[in-house]
Amino acid sequence: MNPITSFLVLVLLLLGAAAGVYVNPYLAPCFLVAAMLLASMLKMANAWQKFVILRAGKLQSVKGPGLFMILPVVDNVTAIIDTRIQTTAFNAEQALTKDTVPVNVDAIIFWHVNDAERAALAITDYRQAIDRVAQTSLREMIGASMLSTLLSDRKASDEQLRADISAKTAAWGIAVISVEVRDVAIPVALQDAMSRQAQAEREKQARMILGSAEAVIAARFVEAATIYEGHPQALQLRAMNIIYETTKERGATILMPSSMVDSMNPAMLAFAVGGADPSNAMSTLKTAA
Q: Report if residue 179 sits inside a domain.
A: yes
Q: How many domains does the chain have?
A: 3
Rounded-to-integer distance, Cα 141 and Cα 164, Å: 9
Boundary residue ending a domain (34, 49, 82): 82
Query: What residues are paired with 108 via a beta bridge?
Result: 89, 180
Helix (H, G, I), strand (E, B) or coil at 81: strand
Residue 209 lies in a domain: yes
Query: CA 286, CA 289: separation in Å to the nearest integer?
Result: 5
Q: Please check whether residues 153 and 239 belong to one and the same domain.
A: no
Residue 169 lies inside a defined structural domain of this protein: yes
**pLDDT of amino acid 258:** 59
Whether 116 maps to a domain, the answer reads yes
Q: What is the pLDDT of residue 273?
A: 47
Report d(CA 283, CA 273) in Å as an integer: 11
What is the CATH number for 96?
A: 3.30.479.30
Domain of 210, in residue numbers: 202-247
HEC-encoded secondary structure of the chain: CCHHHHHHHHHHHHHHHHHHHHCCCCHHHHHHHHHHHHHHHEEEECCCEEEEEEECCEEEEEECCEEEECCCCCEEEEEEEECCCEEEEEEEEEEECCCCCEEEEEEEEEEEECCHHHHHHCCCCHHHHHHHHHHHHHHHHHHCCCHHHHHHCHHHHHHHHHHHHHHHHHHHCEEEEEEEEEEEECCHHHHHHHHHHHHHHHHHHHHHHHHHHHHHHHHHHHHHHHHHHHCHHHHHHHHHHHHHHHHHHHCCCCCCCHHHHHHCCHHHHHHHHHCCCHHHHHHHHHHHC
The type of residue at 278 is: P
Query: Does residue 72 contact residue 56 with C-beta atoms inside 8 Å?
Result: no
Q: Is residue 161 part of a domain?
A: yes
Closest by Cα among 71, 169, 76 to 114: 169
Asked if 73 and 108 sit in the same domain, the reply is no
Mark whether 181 and 211 lie in a shared domain: no
pLDDT surpassing 60 at residue 286:
no
pLDDT for 100-128, tens place per residue? 888 889 999 999 999 999 999 999 899 99
Q: Which of 67, 82, 97 finishes a domain?
A: 82
- Res 93: pLDDT: 87
Which of 94-108, 196-210, 261-275 has maximum average pLDDT? 94-108
pTM as predicted: 0.63
Is residue 280 domain-resident?
no
Residue 268 maps to a domain: no
Confidence of residue 198 (pLDDT cuts 50, 70, 90): confident
Last residue of a domain, one of 65, 82, 99: 82
Indicate whether 94 and 143 sit together in one domain.
yes
More confident residue, 221 or 274: 221
Asked whether residue 36 falls in the same domain as residue 66, the answer is yes
Same domain, 20 and 69: yes
Quick one: 172 and 217 in the same domain?
Answer: no
Q: How confident is the model at residue 251 (pLDDT cuts 50, 70, 90)?
A: low
For residue 166, tell me if it sits in a domain: yes
